[in-house]
Structure 1
Amino acid sequence: MVIGYVAVEKLNGKFIGGLLVVDGRGIPQEFKYTEPIVPNELQRILYGKSLDVFLKTEIIAATLVKKLEKAVDFIFTKDLELLEVDQRIVFLSERREEIREVRKISEEEYLVPYKEGALRIIGKVSLDKLKKLSELLDEGLDIFEPFERLERALEYLCSGT
């Protein structure tokens, strides 16, 4: 299984995004990132409150996903706003509720057994892919750890500019 992780961060007034692709063992297969973007005053005035969402979704995340070279089974995010960018993007969060099997909550929301609780998954996902993911989780995959690496990489890239 090949999994992508996409994140967009706002660090010190700069927006930066990254996409890390790993295999089922967590080994990096691909990494893309954007240069830090600093909106100017006119952009802040014209876009108002919509500036952050516009930069995160249409400028940064959409660009990263478009440049993706590897075929991925999932692209995970911890940001619900990024779901609109591409139907392959899936929101992940951890729940304390303990479950024993994949549970469908709604059309695009599922709970999957994970450690002592559950993973909440929102997005367009087939049951086959959820079962494959569940098997990887049973084998000990730490599904959130690549997010930590991606976030550290973005902080590193943003600090050098």
Structure 2
Amino acid sequence: MPKAQAESKKDLLLGYLYILLLSDKDLYSGAVMITDIRGIPVDFKYVDPIKFTRLEKVLYGDALDAYLKEELILHNLLKSLEKKPHVLICQDPSLVKLSRSLLKSPVLHLEPHSGTPLESAGMFEKLSEGDCYLLQVEEVGPPLRAYFGVVPEESEVKGLSFMLTEASRYMDLLEPFQRIAKALDVIIEESHGKP
């Protein structure tokens, strides 16, 4: 492999966006972690846990969830990133469209799919919902279902499929969400006592 290609692979940055709601404690928080192709963190930003008073809940009503996700968590996290990812993967599909409007990088939600594997790693297949594709990122095993929030250009899907296939050679693509969840638990525990 040419040196330039090896360098560009090493420079591939994956972003992971995670928003946490502890409804039993009325606590909200969120974090974004940027990793290299091996899953090693290169940037991590979080929002301090947010707790609303009863009065604030009444005043915001049904708009509270949108206000929290969009204004207090998402905007702050994405603006604070020092390293911009080549792709942002959201743990919650409802964050995809919002994140797309704030970030120039492609944004998607990935989840395991129980279907038959596609022919080989790097292949993709459009689903009946125009904003969803199956991506075969590993040689064996089921594909991932990718939700884009918009109908993507085929060239975008092809590029992302290549990036994610390359990254999956070094890491489990969905595992960083587990680390973020644990990190947020630690942050909440240190600021509010055990969750």
Same fold (TM over 0.5): yes
Which residue identity lines up with residue 108 of structure 1 in the other structure? D
Is 1:7–2:18 an aligned residue pair?
yes
Unaligned runs of 5+ in 2: 1-11, 101-105
1:28-87 deviations in whole A, cap 9, x for unaligned? Answer: 100000111111222211222331232022220121011111121111112112113221
**CA separation in 2, counterparts of 1:103 and 1:55?**
35
Of 27, 37, 44, 2:50 maps to 37
Q: Which protein is richer in strand relative to its size?
A: 1
Greater RCO (Cα-Cα under 8 Å, separation 6 or more): 1
Counterpart residue number, 1:63: 76
Kept after mapping to 1: 8 A contact 2:167/2:173: no
Give unpaired runs (5+ residues) of structure 1.
Answer: none
1-structure distance, mates of 2:37, 2:64: 36
SS in 1 for 2:166: helix
Q: Does residue 131 of the first structure (1) align with residue 162 of the second (2)? A: yes
One-letter amino acid of the structure 1 residue matched with residue 21 of structure 2: K
Identical columns (%): 29
State the distance in 1 between where 2:189 and 2:111 align.
28
Equivalent pair of 1:99/1:112 in contact (CA under 8 Å): no
- Counterpart selection for 1:103 from 105, 125, 142: 125
Q: Which residue of 2 aligns with 1:121?
A: 146
Larger Rg: 2
Contact map agreement 1:58 1:85 (CA 8 A) in 2: no
Shift of 1:140: 4.7
Count of aligned positions: 160
